[in-house]
Amino acid sequence: MAFLRELAMCLKRLIVSVAVWAGVALAQTSPSKTVPDLSGFWERKDEVGGGNFAGTFAGIPQAAVKPEVIEEAKRMAAAQARGYVVSFASKWCLTNTYPFFMQHSAAWDIAQTQDEIALVPEVHTFVRHIYLDGRKHPDPKHLMRSVNGHAIGHWEGDTLLVDTIGFVGGGGTPGGGRVGPMTHLTERFKLLEGGKKLSVTFTWEDPAFYLKPHTYEMTYHRSDPGTYAFEEYCHADDPVQGGSVVQPPQK
Amino acid sequence: MTDNFKRSGIGAVGVLLLTAASFLAPAPTRAETPNLSGFWEMHFDSRNVPPAVLTPVMANEDKSVQYKLDMFATRWCHFFGVPYVMDASPIDILQNLNGKEIVIATPVRNPARHIYTDGRTHVNPDVFDPLSNGHSIGHWEGDTLVVDTVGFSTEGMTSIPGGGRRTPDSHLVERYRLVDDGNRLSVIFTWEDPKVFQKPHTYEYRYFRAPNGTEAREYDCNASDENRAKFLLDVPGGGLK
């Protein structure tokens, strides 16, 4: 009987040890095995409009911006109405700032590894790098500002949470928001409908522009298998492209 | 008898432990392949590039022709394309966890390279719009990633290290293999183009794994910058013949 009690205790200790070990093992392996696979090509589709792509912006709220931002927008609109060219970006094929390619009609690609996710556009801009290796944002003194900003991410359940600072600024957001050097962006990436769609919720914050955080959601459709990337050329040397913006005689 | 029973009891527990361990071991999701992901840098001793054996037409071409082509693309911020982007250090390789694609991103304002590893073939050239990076498909041969690229455009910086230029008829095969315990990446490039090379032109780059925490850079390009344009178009030393 003593032997059986000893054996029973031995088995109990071993089973408890196995259970604890298994729990630790699962805890270590589960994040890499259970994170959703966002990789692949994604594109926007006009589900609510007349098919002219304008419907993809339906439902995006107007940003609550400061009065001086509204005044500046009014001045620019009035100048444009008088024939003043507000921007020569398309004439010179200047770099598209974030989040331009996220609302563009061209598909974009997600490449996903354990330590990094890249958003890969076709248009005139840079790949957006989102670091998942646990690094922090650089010290502001050493932050090199960029059109895509400095982005770090982590998983919260089935949602990829991305935090970005360090934009060069100068661009805009859907809904009339602005992006500046001190703008802070939070994004939440989540698969919908069994991975057929991808929801991205953007929240922009910047006391220089916004009265409150500007939040909106965009939904992307997974592209067909076999989709491949194009390159959206822009030739500033081409007279046709150069003529896309012609400044009329100034009054 | 008792000792045997104890041993068999402990043995049974051992079997239980091993069974549990095998049940909990991560199941492989795809064939194990080397992980090329991460930032890779070019150093001063990264290039072993012999001179290409060019066709007579290419060999006799005025050297200023290629110079002007590359400077024009640079001045106007065109997409540079392959092979130039493979010199744009550091390159960032993202090898998708699902094994279907490998992306190579660079700091220059150029589309990333997409290497499809999902078993697809090249796109029918009758419907394919040529690209500065071409259309790339890859597969693994043991520890080596073999990448096959066709469908190049005439866009960008077309000069090829060692001589010659990329054309719409060019065919590039690259072999990626980790060396030095994964601290270096060997890439062997082999170009074929009957109008450019008399025989396949092969050279090798060795990239160094960048330190942890390496950040991507953005080397912007502004075609409207007049000072930049003047610098790029004024030929130092008095011009070309």
* Residue B130 belongs to a domain: yes
* Residue B203 belongs to a domain: yes
- Who's near B215: CB < 8 A, 6+ residues apart? A129, A138, A144, A150
* Residue B22 belongs to a domain: no
* Residue B238 belongs to a domain: no
User: In chain B, which residue's Cα lies nearest the Cα of A237?
Assistant: B76
Q: What is the pLDDT of residue B199?
A: 98
Taking chain A (251 residues) in runs of 10, the rounded mean pLDDT of each run is 53 47 38 81 84 77 96 90 82 92 93 97 95 95 94 97 95 94 97 97 98 97 94 87 64 52
Task: Provide the residue count of chain B.
Answer: 241
> pLDDT tens for residues B87-136?
999 999 999 999 999 999 999 999 999 999 999 999 999 999 999 999 99
* Residue B28 belongs to a domain: no
Query: Looking at beta carbons, which residues of chain A come within 8 Å of B72?
Result: 237
Query: Looking at beta carbons, which residues of chain B come within 8 Å of A236?
Result: 76-77, 223-224
Is the backbone peptide bond immediately before B51 cis, with ω within 30 degrees of 0?
no
Q: Are the C-beta atoms of A3 and B5 separated by less than 8 Å? A: yes
The answer to whether the pTM exceeds 0.90 is: no
Q: Is A20 on the interface with B (CB under 8 A)?
A: no
Low-confidence ranges of chain B (pLDDT < 70): 1-31, 239-241
* Residue B239 belongs to a domain: no
Give me the domains of chain A, ranges plus CATH numbers: 40-65+97-234 (2.40.128)
Residue pairs spanning A and B at CB distance below 8 A: 144
Q: Is B99 on the interface with A (CB under 8 A)?
A: no
* Residue B5 belongs to a domain: no
Query: Looking at beta carbons, which residues of chain A come within 8 Å of B26?
Result: 29, 33
| Number of domains forming the structure of chain B | 1
- Who's near A39: CB < 8 A, 6+ residues apart? A110, A111, A112, B96, B97, B98, B100, B101
Q: What is the pLDDT of residue A51?
A: 67
Q: Are the C-beta atoms of A202 and A185 separated by less than 8 Å? A: yes
Write out residues 92-121 of A within 8 Å (CB-CB) of B: 92-95, 109, 111-116, 118, 120-121
Write out residues 160-219 of B within 8 Å (CB-CB) of A: 212-213, 215-218
Query: Looking at beta carbons, which residues of chain B come within 8 Å of A150?
Result: 215
Which residue(s) pair with B149 in the sheet?
Answer: B136, B172
Q: What is the CATH number of the domain that holds B166?
A: 2.40.128.20
Range of the domain at B80: 38-233
* Residue B153 belongs to a domain: yes
In this structure, what token pair is assigned to residue A180?
Answer: 């500046």
